[in-house]
Amino acid sequence: MVFFNIMKEIRDIISSYNTCVAEGKKCALATVVHIEGSSYRRPGARMLISEDGQLTGAISGGCLEGDAMRKALLVINEQIPTLVTYDTMDEDDAIIGIGLGCNGIIDILIEPIQSGQADNPIQILKAITNYRQHAVIVTLFSWDMRKLIHAGTRYYLNQKGDFIGNSHYSEMETTLKNHAAKLSSKDKSDWVNFKYNGEKMSVFFEIVLPPIHLVSIGAGNDVIPLVEMSGILGWETTIIDGRAGYARKERFPDACSVMVATPKEVLNLISIDKYTCFTLMTHNYNYDKALLYELTGNNAEYIALLGPKSKLERILSEYEDEGRRLTSAQIDSIYCPAGLDIGAETSEEIALSVISEIKAVMNRKKCNHLRHKSEGIHAF
């Protein structure tokens, strides 16, 4: 399973940690490292707890945070990582609450953050957010020794294949690196048990992907809610338009960058990876047509073309007449009409529809896309 929203949580945690360091506050990091059955959050969910009880991030839907905070304050005081297990299958659990209904067992590692330590867990999180990269974070823990001084987020494998982190487990490093490298290409996290000095050690290998990069071609008013929603999700956003009067940073304060460009210039301004999505919202047929052809030739994963299905059919017909027919794979990357079938009407609703479709496509989820409707978008 591929998840993209975790990067926003990591960035929020880093920001809060920086504030705590500036204010001289001690912190602990709680990480969901394993689940059995069902849970609200998946492994890799994190929460930063400061010594004055401030929480950033989440490890559940709110049911575990209070108790985890109390245990984190003890970890901050003792400076020893602790593995905590919550069994939501037990309806008589007084801590979690009767009838929670999650029906799962959640293991959470709470580790103190030593700000003076060069490779503490937050520094590892900082390292993987500095660049758009595919990384593997390695977190060690033990069910047999729940208070283990060297447990925690200790290593990461970056996109270049460098294995960086704490040297305490030097005897295991080659094994850990090889397993992380094996998982890196699969986009799937995993748990593995190892023996270290005769003791059973569990390791959570977490795949962390770069955030979705949404490139909006078009800077009209209908793009504003699209950018705002992308920002809430923690996506990177770029706005490009051929009209200098529209493509202005003050109109899109939440966008990472705003640029003026012709269709031929766009691809020189954007680095496309498999997490890059495009929305063509210029309301200019010739601009959309010119750029669409370029994008389909550069392996874009998702291209939203605003407008009715007849618009795409006309463009494809003209391509064929011009001797530049698209392949079926290229056509499959185009979503027109764009968005999920939620009955969207206003620009805000259309933005929600398109954002939801992007999320579904990138996470390989099947939904009811508007491009599959046989009648018009607003047919009664």
Report all structural domains of the chain as residue ranges with CATH numbers, in order of start. 6-208 (no CATH), 213-372 (3.40.50.720)
- Please give, one letter per residue, the 3-state secondary structure of 113-145: ECCCCCCCHHHHHHHHHCCCCCEEEEEEECCCC
107 three-state secondary structure: strand
Token couple for 289: 């047509």
Q: Please tell me the number of Cα atoms within 13 Å of 87 on its side-chain side.
A: 6
Q: How far apart are CA 248 and CA 11, in angstroms?
A: 26
Q: What is the pLDDT of residues 7-51, one digit of tens each?
A: 889 999 999 999 999 999 999 999 999 988 877 888 999 999 999
What does the pLDDT average to over 341-351?
A: 93
Question: Which pLDDT band, with edges at 50, 70 and 90, does 369 fall under?
Answer: confident
What does the pLDDT average to over 61-72?
A: 91
Dihedral sign for Cα atoms in the order 156, 1, 364, 345: negative
Q: How far apart are CA 239 and CA 7, in angstroms?
A: 21
Strand blocks (E) in the chain: 27-37, 46-50, 55-57, 82-87, 104-113, 135-141, 152-157, 163-165, 190-196, 199-208, 213-217, 236-241, 257-260, 276-280, 302-305, 334-335
pLDDT score at 2: 47
Q: How far apart are CA 68 and CA 102, in angstroms?
A: 17
Q: What's the predicted TM-score (pTM) here? A: 0.82
Q: How far apart are CA 185 and CA 135, in angstroms?
A: 10
Q: How far apart are CA 1 and CA 124, in angstroms?
A: 23
Tokens 């050690």 sit on residue: 201
Q: How far apart are CA 214 and CA 326, in angstroms?
A: 23
pLDDT score at 88: 75
Nearest CA among 298, 216, 303 for reference residue 257: 216
Is there a cis peptide before residue 253, judged by omega within 30 degrees of 0?
A: no
User: What percent of the chain clears pLDDT 90, i.e. is strictly above it?
Assistant: 64
Please give the distance of CA 277 from its chain centroid, rounded to a whole number. Answer: 14
Cβ-based neighbours of 47, under 8 Å, separated by 6 or more: 13, 29, 30, 55, 56, 57, 58, 59, 65, 68
Q: How far apart are CA 172 and CA 141, in angstroms?
A: 14
pLDDT score at 38: 76
> In 10 A of CB 259, how many CB atoms?
17
Report DSSP state, residue 307: S
Token couple for 3: 């998840």
Q: How far apart are CA 112 and CA 365, in angstroms?
A: 37
Tell me how many degrees the CA angle 220-222-226 measures, rounded to the nearest 5: 110
* Sheet bearing 152-157, strands edge to edge: 163-165, 152-157, 135-141, 199-208, 190-196
Question: Which pLDDT band, with edges at 50, 70 and 90, does 3 fall under?
Answer: very low
Q: How far apart are CA 206 and CA 176, in angstroms?
A: 12
Question: Which pLDDT band, with edges at 50, 70 and 90, does 91 fall under?
Answer: low
Question: Which pLDDT band, with edges at 50, 70 and 90, does 97 fall under?
Answer: very low
Is 94's pLDDT higher than 60? no
Amino acid letter, 31:
T
